[in-house]
A and B are shown apart, each in its own frame.
Chain A
């Protein structure tokens, strides 16, 4: 900011306000402006985090406030990490996370690549494609349970039409083998448009001149795709993976509506399991330890990923 502008702004400051701040250093004024935000962050992020860590070493239950709270040390952590059921929910989450990201990136990028080509009705198709992500997950969960119904569900009829299998002979959300894929399909249907939009932004940010230069160098379309398109879209793609990864790690509503975590516990993701421990069983201390473990896992993975993302950007 030029000195002239600063002078103008200084003159515009009301005299009463100016008198108040007279004598305060720039650093002090900066602190005054930043303090409310820091206070809010401490109050709604840092304090609950510290409180959760503290609770994780106790047997506290929020529904029994009159009961004695015992310090149990690392017992909650030991129980969680040695519980095979919790490892099964981690496995279910990993399966869900991996395959949803895989399909969403693959299909999302393919759709973005197609939509990026100039053709008639391009805007209309874009609107139609992004429609699923505008819906509420609860609504999506509900109507997909109908689509998956073996007797009346459209999904089973479509599969039957192409494969000849009796539609009522299989149940997507009732079978141990199919249920994990049932939730992957719905999440992919709903969130692929989000990945597509981010990829589209990446594709549209590539200057035409680079392709023109490549054409002059007689680079094939295939070569252009691998040496220009992919590297330049990669930071966008990685960002989409980060967003979807974080979202899907804490996936709750959609899966609860679809399967309730079943059959058995085959689709019980960590967030569903954690919610049951914290707000149905009311094991607050135990659930706090569980939340801390999940926080450390997500934070660790996200940090490594962001570093990788920054490296890709620097290239």
Chain B
């Protein structure tokens, strides 16, 4: 408890929660920094972009937009297309983040795929404030991304170990969260809906365009079953159904 009160406990706990993201973000960041360096942009750009844009796959695409001199409208459309799924993360955190006051804008800004999943999987220990834990996890994740990008841009070409396949750590992280959610929830309707919608839309539209329709159909289906048994999970659901 003492540890919790002096704030150190928060940082330590948040750090442990963020470790799964660390590997993935640092190596993905390095890959981005390298790509940017190859395109002729220095590490200052890498730092700046990773601080203010902070969006994994979009940053990779952005490099090709920058070198190709893409139009700004085209850039905007691409961004909405690729990052559109982030709307759904906020949608499930509206209530939580609203209460966070000054930290709220940063929390909203830093809500990436990986941070979202870690926050979903974090069980805050007794005696700790969820707000603070969430804030530190978000900040750690962001700093890994920035550190990786700068490292890649500065020293990426000296890295000689073969890191092919390290990006699987993200898939593994998502799988772990799915397992944990599955074990916690009485109804598996939402998870199964997600898997089925994902697969159906993937087969229909292919790998590049399926995610937004898949997420939209999940929302529609979940709203349609609201109040029925299938719509209930374990905690705090009683009030919701009413």
A and B assemble together: no
Which residues on A are within 8 Å of B, measured CB to CB? none
Which residues on B are within 8 Å of A, measured CB to CB? none
